[in-house]
Structure 1
Amino acid sequence: MDTGTALVIAVPAAVLGAAGFGLASAAQQRATHEVAVTPTLSPRLIVELLARPMWLLGLVATIVALFFQIVALAFGPLAVVQPLLVTGVAFAAVFAALMSGHRPDPLILLGALLCAAGLSTFLLLARPTAGSTDGDIDLWGGLPLAIALAVVVVGCIFYAASVEHPSRVLALALATGVLYGVTAGLMKVITGQLRLGLDEPFRHPVLYIVCIIGPIGFLLSQNTFQAGQLVAPAVAVITSVDPVVGVLIGVGWLGEELDTSPAQLAGECLAALVVIGSIALIVARGHRILRHRAAIADSAANQLPTYLPPRRDAGVQHGRISG
């Protein structure tokens, strides 16, 4: 199949995958607000969500999105597919607004698109060269990175459990993104092991680590959605952190190499600043929207009725008896 025909399949599949992830995030975020708040990483949240049709819709959307992502990666290069997949941030903002009966906010959409553009540029510039293809991990060399990522996750969870500040949502999203990125990086290792035989992954601890970290990351994502009133900030953080951690794992664990030329590093730093700035824009705009909605709700609650029924003694005041 020639390149043009492959892209005709890969590009629509990637866009559909991004839309599916956006729909899944919006549906799951809405469903988590329909159940009782549970402690972080409590499996009871998943048990309660299984009875919510909206959450099941999000689960189906996730499966469909994964299918389209696999199709896109099978026919198109990662450099084309990955930037399209990160537009799921914008799709999530649109679907969340439609589900809540509001118009999509232009500034949040702008922030989501800037986040996707900055992240795509970073990934294109930071694309590492091929490393280990046999599923091996440099355990000792990757130990500092593993410790650093573990500290970030534990610190974010502890912070989120200790405060009631709106920033706890971003902390949970950061921890979720790290776990998603670790899962994606370890999946690279498993695919390399599969080339040596279908039973090879079962001979190494990586598969079993993924079976633990993957579900924890998914459960933490549901905690993140439940903690936040808007889906866009959380999805923006998760979507941004996930592939960046994947790149770090490729370099630290799989022996991949990055182009460290001054021009390349400058471009990566500029792209990273765009991502950070766009997330700040989404968060600031989200807080303003929530304050505006709260003010409207307070005004409606305190507003006096426009019509008051006549008092029963109104006629006596005019020298007559009310009928």
Structure 2
Amino acid sequence: MFKIRTLHISDFLKLKEYLKEDSNLSSISSSTTNKIACILQSCIPINLRFVPSIHIAVEGKNILGFVSLKCLSKSNNCWQIEEVFVLDQERNKGVGEELLRYVLSVYGSEGIEHFLAEVDSQNIPAISLFHECGFRRYAKVAFYEKELTLDKLESKSFLDKDFILRAQIKNDMNDLEKLELSTIPSDLRPALGRSKDFFKNIKDSVVMIDKSRNLIVGWSHINKLSTDNYLIELKLSPGWTHLYEGFLNTIIYDYITCEVNKIKLTVKAVDYNTELTQTLAQSGFVQTETKELLVRTIWLKVKERKKKTSPFALPRTAPT
């Protein structure tokens, strides 16, 4: 019979073996380079944790699997489940489901309201697992790729002089939170709207400013995966979405520095952002991967305080 517990320092050697078998286990990769911070998470209140939390299923001295999750937004109590991993020989035994239900129970009891996960659309068993644990599909996330030669970008496709791009700074947080909410359908905002706490922890990000209004109307995160491979996420406020092509090309030309002239660029887009997906398709980007954006909301029932009644079942009133 297995049990679920938090990560111990002695577990890292075994986790490194998993990393050798599957290089896509990104949360384990980052955690093994920051062991102390990862271990200390179990001593820190959930709402103050700053690196992914990892919980493992163990039977004796053997690790059967793990679940990794991180805080996505403190203001709306949203955590993202990054990975659920179970050894091949231990699958179909309920280990993955118990790991998921464990974090939903523990973190939900601490006030976390929303849990989300991005699951490969082709991974039917994983999608079924999340559905069994109460997750529902909110949107589809797509990744578009294109090989670009930097010196062949046309200047006419850049932004005009009314707009400027600069690095994200601390004073932008409130405006970025408003920008984020404006780009998400109203019924999805409680779960998917990322707060200023999220943007505060993101590096290598730029904002686009409409100089005539002195207003932040765009944001982009540039993630350098390798020397010639970049992943970009970007969004524009409603009313400025016609500038996606110029925004993207300006980012590529001004903010991507590499030793080679030819790069592979991947852009992440959510299906409700139709203006961006259309721009990418028209610009020659090819959709290479899709993921289901799954969400589980924990509704904590607030018990109403019962009114005190007199022995005769009538409301007790002050004497007159």
Which TM-score applies when normalising by structure 1?
0.30
Which one has more relative contact order, counting CA pairs under 8 Å at least 6 apart? 1
Query: Greater Rg, structure 1 or structure 2?
Result: 1
Q: Name whichever structure is richer in helix by fraction.
A: 1
